[in-house]
A and B are shown apart, each in its own frame.
Chain A
Amino acid sequence: MAVRRRGGMQSYPDVPVDLWVTCRKCGAMHYRPEFEAALRVCPSCNYHDRLDAAERIALLLDDPDQFREIDADITAADPIEFSRPSGSYVDRVAKARALTSRNEAIVCGVGPLQGRQVALGVMEFGFIAGSMGSATGEKITRLFEHALRHRMPVVTVTASGGARQDEGLFALMQMARTTAAAARLGESGLPHICVMADPTLAGVTASFAAVADIIIGEPGATIRFAGSRVVQGTLRRRAPVEDHTTEWVLRQGMIDLVVPRRELRETLARVIGHLAPAHVSAVAPVAAGAARV
């Protein structure tokens, strides 16, 4: 039986399912090899389909083999001993680890982007909807601290449902913690560029992502503060049907630019080059805490 690879796939008897893919946004069907060759950008509606962390890293870096992952061994604990009707948090994490072969909802490391070493953090949406728990927050914080210590620009790619409810207030505090780390990096003169991919929601939109120096949106991504279930739950009325897309938040003045996937690496390199000329990273690494705090 063919494996349903990503959301939106339809199956027809006697048709090799993997050969066809339907766009998550507009429902158009595409021949998979062509869709993949187009970096999974829908030729009909320009929706930029979700990439997993490995695909994203391959897209952004000059050579994905030169990506040095850091803190890969950090994983979630269970700070409030949480269970949902559908199962315990511990089980959820175990399933997510098995499904993604990652230990957390973000992959962090260092690698060359058009010849320039950058600290790169890419969220893994397949890991509990890319939600931010303590371990996720720890990795993001360490990424900013690593960049500060080694004088590197930071690139983050967000794809997240927001704070991970299963960790209660611990999850909320990751917003403060990651934002504080981003703010401290900001004082050092090193740039943080955030790429908001589909979807970027709630506790991630409203923390380190929103305080980036430059925010790039991927076409067609959903970017918003309150998800429709939250709006319905708190206001007891239906969420507005308006789609909170990249193009919409650009019009509202909240992000800097929308960049097609094919031009993303080049655009990142260009803006980093303007904000942090390459010689900056040649400066000897400063000890942790030596930067102005």
Chain B
Amino acid sequence: MLEFERDLDELRDHIAELERDPSADANSQVARELAVLQLELEARTADIFAHLTPWQRVQLARHPQRPHTQDYIDRLCSDFTELHGDRRFADDPSVIAGLATFEGRSVIVVGHQKGRGTTENVERNFGMAHPEGFRKALRLFDMAERFQRPVLTFLDTPGASPTLDDEKRGQSWAIAENMARLARLRVPLIVTVIGEGGSGGALALGVGDRVLMLEHAIYSVASPEAAAAIIWRDSDHAEEAAAALRLTAPDLLRAGLIDRVVPEPDGGAHRDFDTAAANLHAQLAPMLQELSGQNIDDLVNARYAKFRAMGEHQIVPAG
């Protein structure tokens, strides 16, 4: 549980306790108290979530109970068939990918997958993909183009895995090749940042025709800890880094680096997976419909122009 959620949780516990009270019939004192507490919970939740600091959003984005890629696929799609392996080296469980039906059409879905609990998190390397994870994704991107199926990707990673073994297998090359492929892929592509969009490891699945972000997701040049290590030479400054980096969905929408913010249910996506997924579905469905109707050359050119425009520079006055 997060620090700022503690008060809310105490209230929730209190409410649950009263609800179990046998004397809580319609007009009792208990029922009236319950109604007051429920209003208070709503008001306090709304107040806290209206004033979230960047660091609180980082914590929400990483909430251990937050819905992960698999949770969204289960709710957005039917008959997901997971496909494994990069046909080169290994299957990387920190990336899941496969075929699924979304809104009656076959799509390719790919996303970073974090675990829930220590055992699964270790197995999935906390969502930090290895080169073979990105190469599994690349294999599926190629398949999408060959069979003309649109691609939905889900971003949720602290960053690409940075160990010596990852360097050995060409982590930089894996990321760059994915971006190059996605930039030119001749099918519609929609990217959703569902939790943590961390650095190059996120971008390796993040080049698309549209980029959506869940309300409390983050997307950053480096994780706050890595940025703090680079800037302050000390990862303990992560909270300051989070504030300085402008990594929240509203900030990035204003900056023009993402297209849409997907609202989360009260208290965050981890409170209600179904509503979070339904909100995402409501944006994805018409978007995919619209993109699928476009001429593919126009779509690829527009994608190039979209990323071409991401940057702010100035011209030094002559003389």
Q: Is the CB of B314 within 8 A of A175?
A: no
Main secondary structure of the interface of B (DSSP, over half): helix
Given contacts A206-B172, A210-B172, contact A170 B257 (CB under 8 A): yes
Bound-state CA distance A290–B132 (Å) is: 36
Q: Is the CB of B313 within 8 A of A232?
A: no
Please encode chain A, from 132 to 171, with 1 for each CB lying within 8 Å of some chain B CB and 0 for all others: 0011011001000000000000000000000101011111
Given contacts A141-B308, A169-B252, A175-B203, contact A75 B231 (CB under 8 A): no
Given contacts A169-B257, A173-B307, A235-B163, contact A79 B312 (CB under 8 A): yes
Bound-state CA distance A84–B170 (Å) is: 32
Does B2 count as interface, using CB distance less than 8 angstroms?
A: no
Q: Which of A31-39, A41-49, A182-190, A276-284 contacts B (4 or more CB under 8 A)?
A: A182-190
Q: Is the CB of A176 within 8 A of B311?
A: no
Does A66 count as interface, using CB distance less than 8 angstroms?
A: no
**Centre residue among A75, A225, A231 by max chain B CB count within 10 A:** A225
Interface size class of B (residues with CB under 8 A): 35 or more
Q: Which one of B170, B231, B300 contacts A253 once the chains associate, using CB atoms below 8 Å?
A: B170
Contacting residues, chain B, for A230 (C-beta < 8 A): 162, 222, 226, 229-230
Closest to B234 in A: A233
Q: Is the CB of B184 within 8 A of A84?
A: no
Given contacts A134-B312, A183-B180, A229-B229, contact A167 B167 (CB under 8 A): no
Does A29 count as interface, using CB distance less than 8 angstroms?
A: no
Does A74 count as interface, using CB distance less than 8 angstroms?
A: yes
Please encode chain B, from 197 to 214, with 1 for each CB lying within 8 Å of some chain A CB and 0 for all others: 001100100110000000
Q: Is the CB of A75 within 8 A of B313?
A: yes
Bound-state CA distance A155–B160 (Å) is: 28
Q: Which of B3-11, B79-87, B241-249 contacts A (4 or more CB under 8 A)?
A: B241-249
Please encode chain B, from 125 to 154, with 1 for each CB lying within 8 Å of some chain A CB and 0 for all others: 000000000000000000000000000000
Q: Is the CB of A172 within 8 A of B314?
A: no
Q: Which one of B230, B244, B310 contacts A82 once the chains associate, using CB atoms below 8 Å?
A: B244
Interface residues in B141-189 by Cβ distance below 8 A to A read 158-160, 162-164, 166-173, 175-177, 179-181, 183-184
15 residue pairs of the A-B complex, CB under 8 angstroms, read A167-B221, A169-B245, A173-B257, A175-B176, A176-B307, A176-B310, A180-B179, A210-B177, A225-B175, A230-B226, A233-B235, A244-B167, A252-B168, A254-B172, A289-B301
Interface positions of B (Cβ within 8 A of A) = 158-160, 162-164, 166-173, 175-177, 179-181, 183-184, 199-200, 203, 206-207, 219-223, 225-233, 235, 244-247, 252, 255, 257, 297, 300-301, 303-304, 307-308, 310-316, 318
Which 9 residue pairs are nearest across A and B when measured between Cβ atoms?
A233-B229, A226-B162, A134-B311, A210-B176, A180-B183, A135-B313, A233-B235, A206-B172, A183-B180
